[in-house]
Amino acid sequence: MDDRDLETREAAELEARLVGPDADGDERAYEAALRPKTLDELIGQERVREQLSLVLTAAKGRGRTPDHVLLSGPPGLGKTTLAMIIASEMGTSLRLTSGPAIQHAGDLAAILSGINEGDVLFVDEIHRMSRPAEELLYMAMEDFRVDVVIGKGPGATAIPLQIPTFTLVGATTRAGLLPGPLRDRFGFTAQLEYYESAELHRIVDRSAALLGVDVTRDGGMEIASRSRGTPRIANRLLRRVRDYAEVRGDGTVDLDVAHRALELYEVDRIGLDRLDRSVLEALCRHFGGGPVGISTLAVAVAEERETVEEVAEPFLVRRGFLARTPRGRIATAAAWEHLGLRPPEGSGPEPLPID
């Protein structure tokens, strides 16, 4: 297999993981078709867009490779999209990989040795890279050099290898897990925020136009307001609602169709999906509202701890349903109310600072 095949396979694997375990090739193609290709096409994230535009324009003006970029935020907010945009705005190639795929320093050395001048290297889930690979990356980011170790044990020698200048775009759902020395080597860092309903509505409209789906204003708004502040979810729901409109209606997505379809897919009126609700239900029904540790909560909903922590929790915290305290997670009064439950007498400890 040559480098190009490897790159293509890695990109396909990465896309598969980004879209989700049950995603088919069709869904990957769907996501790719809806990705904005330029900063101008990107909707929302105004501040990040403006800051990044400055970074890229200045680099172009100087004829230099832009600084390394760290993007953090929950899944589906546009980190991969931004990495692709950086490469296309700079007119360079993008190479994709992910932290879990870089378990040995040699894995990273192999990727770096195939890089061309000015390329953008996207490392998704960069917080999951192994420590030895991370240390190699420090040197590559700073001096555009890697030490290739030949041999083993006391006879091993390190041969310095100069690599072309490149821009590393690191993406993480957990910026706090990155070691300080790695974080400090990024010249530009951006925290992506959940999107407002109005922005998601524009995203739904744009996607509907690209797909040739007829969506009324109310229908689009209904999808947007149930999308958990996340463009990937907005696009996914649009797809499900389009199916419903085609099979049970005349193909038009209006308020009634959107409403009925989203009820069918168990997305509630504020966008909580089955995982979000089962986390809240477990917290309130099994643990009396908490405090309970995240690992116990994950076992109770039969999910990976990371999924609960990185996918469900940030949105529940943002909506004011769950609070993180030093003693564990607690349900807020709003959570009990949303589930239609009455909190037990004397419950409801005041949220303490986030741990």
Ligand X SMILES: Nc1ncnc2c1ncn2[C@@H]1O[C@H](COP(=O)(O)OP(=O)(O)OP(=O)(O)O)[C@@H](O)[C@H]1O
Fill in the DSSP letter of residue 292.
B
Residue nearest to ligand X (CB): 78
144 assigned binding-site residue: yes
Place of tokens 């095949």: 5
Closest to ligand X by CB, 73 vs 291, is 73
C-alpha R_g of the chain: 22
Q: What minimum distance in Å lies between the beta carbon of 198 and ligand X? A: 13
| Catalytic machinery residues | 79-80, 124, 173, 232
Q: What minimum distance in Å lies between the beta carbon of 125 and ligand X? A: 8
172 assigned binding-site residue: no
The site for ligand X (CB under 6 A) is made up of 18, 31, 34-36, 42-45, 75-81, 124, 203, 231-232, 235
Closest to ligand X by CB, 72 vs 332, is 72
Q: What minimum distance in Å lies between the beta carbon of 40 and ligand X? A: 11
166 assigned binding-site residue: no
DSSP letters of 73-107? Answer: -STTSSHHHHHHHHHHHHT--EEEEEGGG--SHHH
CA atoms within 13 A on the CB side of 10: 22
Q: What minimum distance in Å lies between the beta carbon of 172 and ligand X? A: 9
232 assigned binding-site residue: yes
Q: Report how far residue 44's alpha carbon sits from residue 208's, in angstroms, rounded to the nearest whole number.
A: 17
Strands 69-72 and 167-172: parallel
Beta bridge partners of 172: 72
Closest to ligand X by CB, 42 vs 126, is 42
329 assigned binding-site residue: yes
305 assigned binding-site residue: yes
Closest to ligand X by CB, 307 vs 347, is 307
Q: What minimum distance in Å lies between the beta carbon of 261 and ligand X? A: 20
Closest to ligand X by CB, 172 vs 332, is 172
Give the Å distances, CA to CA, from 270 to 221, 293, 300, 340: 12, 26, 23, 14
Give the Å distances, CA to CA, from 287 to 85, 275, 292, 298, 314: 45, 17, 7, 13, 20
Place of tokens 């999209």: 81
Place of tokens 């009925």: 260
| Binding annotation for DNA | 305, 324, 329
Q: Which residues are annotated binding-site positions for ATP? A: 34-35, 76, 79-81, 142-144, 185, 195, 232
Give the residue numbers of the binding site for Mg(2+): 80
